[in-house]
Amino acid sequence: MSSKSSSTTTMITTYSPSPTVKNRQPIIKDVDWARPDKRGFHQCRPAYLNTGTVNAASGSAYVEFGSTKVIVSVFGPRESKKASMYSDIGRLNCNVSYTTFATNFRGQGTENKEISSMLHKALEGAIILESFPKTTVDVLLWCWNPVAVSFLLCDLPVVISCASLALADAGIMMYDLVTSVSVSCLGSNLIIDPITEEETYQDGSLMITFMPSRHEVTQLTLTGEWSTPRIHEAMQLCMDACCKLGEIMRSCLKDAAASSES
């Protein structure tokens, strides 16, 4: 105990409160530029997926993509709130919360509302809402990215994929798993699955949410200036990655089902 307290005191003495100003890297437009985490341009971050992390929920998933961590719990289908009107199809309620300490600026802005509505739109098309009339499914989400300055869109694909994994774990009927991948356009390069640093310098981005087996796009957003052939190229790249991510998610669900049976 005493050694521990002495170590903390030494830490205090050596601590210098200098603000961490990162060196701003120039936007390099040549081809042989390396990504900060040494990935190839068309290589996604290493992913870790797990289901059934929250006991209280009907279904849950924990996903780690690089430094982004997301936990999703799915509750329901349960009775809709009294105030809501009768509906012969089910309702989906998405709520994204971003931990207040997750970003450099403490507190939550309006971003989580935007993210919630985007998540809702991405999932809504995949869920068979007719299968639970009069009830609500709640998708509650908690996200943490230690290096983010504010909520950046680079986390959104992770959030969406994780939410669909949790829905599948909860046994909510869906037409297909929803997978999502984004690409950033940096100069003349297209880089897949950008991290925060890269996203700060990007010229444009494209995010797709995709149902691999049905080959359908549920959401698509694009920023920056693009020509049509380039959009085509980026979409192909994203869809290819989505299909691969879909397979990984499927095998994760199969493993979980197999281990619960045995």
Binding site for another protein (CB under 8 A): 27, 88-89, 110, 113-114, 117, 120-126, 128, 130-134, 175, 185, 199-206, 210-211, 214-228, 231-232, 235, 239
CB of 53 to another protein, least distance (A): 26
The tokens for 115 are: 């993210």
Q: Which residue in the block uniquely carries the two structure tokens 């290096």?
A: 147
CB of 62 or CB of 132, closer to another protein: 132
CB of 48 to another protein, least distance (A): 27
Exposed, middle or buried, 70 (CB in 10 Å: 0-12/13-18/19+)?
buried
Q: Decide: 194 and 154 in contact? Cβ < 8 Å.
A: yes
In this structure, the strands spanning 91-98 and 59-65 are unpaired
CB of 42 or CB of 120, closer to another protein: 120
Rg of the chain taking only CA atoms, in angstroms: 20
CB of 10 or CB of 87, closer to another protein: 87
CB of 215 or CB of 254, closer to another protein: 215
CB of 63 or CB of 115, closer to another protein: 115
Query: CA triplet 25, 43, 199: central angle to 5 degrees?
Result: 35
CB of 64 or CB of 111, closer to another protein: 111
Q: Decide: 71 and 142 in contact? Cβ < 8 Å.
A: yes
CB of 37 to another protein, least distance (A): 18
Distance of CA 43 to the CA centre of its chain: 17
CB of 15 to another protein, least distance (A): 23
d(CA 30, CA 167): 42
Q: Which residues pair with 142 in a beta bridge?
A: 71, 97
Q: Which residue in the block uniquely carries the two structure tokens 């959401």?
A: 219
CB of 18 or CB of 227, closer to another protein: 227
CB of 1 to another protein, least distance (A): 43
Closest CA to 162 of 48, 37, 45: 48
CB of 62 to another protein, least distance (A): 26
d(CA 254, CA 25): 43
Query: If you ran DSSP here, which 8-state letter would residue 154 be given?
Result: G
CB of 239 to another protein, least distance (A): 6
The tokens for 121 are: 């739109």
